[in-house]
Amino acid sequence: MTPTPAVDPADLLRLDKQICFSLHAATRAFNGVYRVLLKDLGLTYPQYLVMMVLWEHGELPVKRLGEHLRLDSGTLSPLLKRLEAAGLVRRERSTRDERSVEVRLTEEGQALHERALEVPRRIATVTGFDLDELRDLRSRLDRLTTALDEAALEETPGCR
């Protein structure tokens, strides 16, 4: 098999801790900055992610939305209800397939797009990020995610 390198398990645990912390911390730091910027728009961070998908695709069933965001109905259903209560989206049972629910932007939801264009500009300004570096970080994270997803599949108990 793999020629296991001579790494002290305790060091590995320490490194593991550092990775976990870093990712955890980065996510929450991201969240915190967005929280402030999104307050003006009346959106939470996950709601912002949902709206971005809708701004791009206009209208789509909950299922597709979930695929884009890696979220299931348990998370999306209440979130979408709140967006509907805020007047940003409407939810309608599909007439073609009554199991499915179509989510579409209201005019108000559409209009929010204009104001949302400000957000990434302010993020970029405020953090002084280099665009290329961000792209690079993104691709690394994506590779990480892919590797983890594949690992998760093999790791699932009882899947052999």
Partner DNA sequence: CACAATTCAATTGTGCACAACTCAATGGCG
Partner DNA sequence: CGCCATTGAGTTGTGCACAATTGAATTGTG
Which residues would be at the binding site for a second copy (CB under 8 A)? 2, 5, 7, 9-10, 12-30, 32-34, 36-37, 45, 48-49, 52-53, 55-56, 69-70, 116-117, 119-121, 123-129, 131, 134-135, 137-138, 140-142, 144-145, 147-149, 151-152, 154-157
CB of 144 to a second copy, least distance (A): 5
CB of 52 to DNA, least distance (A): 13
Exposure class string for 15-31: b at 16+ Cβ within 10 A, else e = eeeeeeeeeeeeeeeee
Does residue number 47 form part of the binding site for DNA (CB under 7 A)? yes
Does residue number 82 form part of the binding site for DNA (CB under 7 A)? yes
- Return d(Cα 33, Cα 27) in angstroms, integer: 10
Of 61, 68, 106, 113, the residue at the interface with DNA (CB under 7 A) is 61
CB of 84 to a second copy, least distance (A): 22
Exposure class string for 106-138: b at 16+ Cβ within 10 A, else e = eeebeebeeebeebeeeeeeeeeeeeeeeeeee
CB of 31 to DNA, least distance (A): 5
Does residue number 66 form part of the binding site for DNA (CB under 7 A)? yes
Partner whose footprint covers residue 30, from a second copy, DNA, none (CB < 5 to 8 Å by kind) = a second copy
- Return d(Cα 23, Cα 16) in angstroms, integer: 11
- Return d(Cα 83, Cα 89) in angstroms, integer: 6
Task: Answer positive or negative: Cα dihedral of 66, 147, 134, 14.
Answer: positive
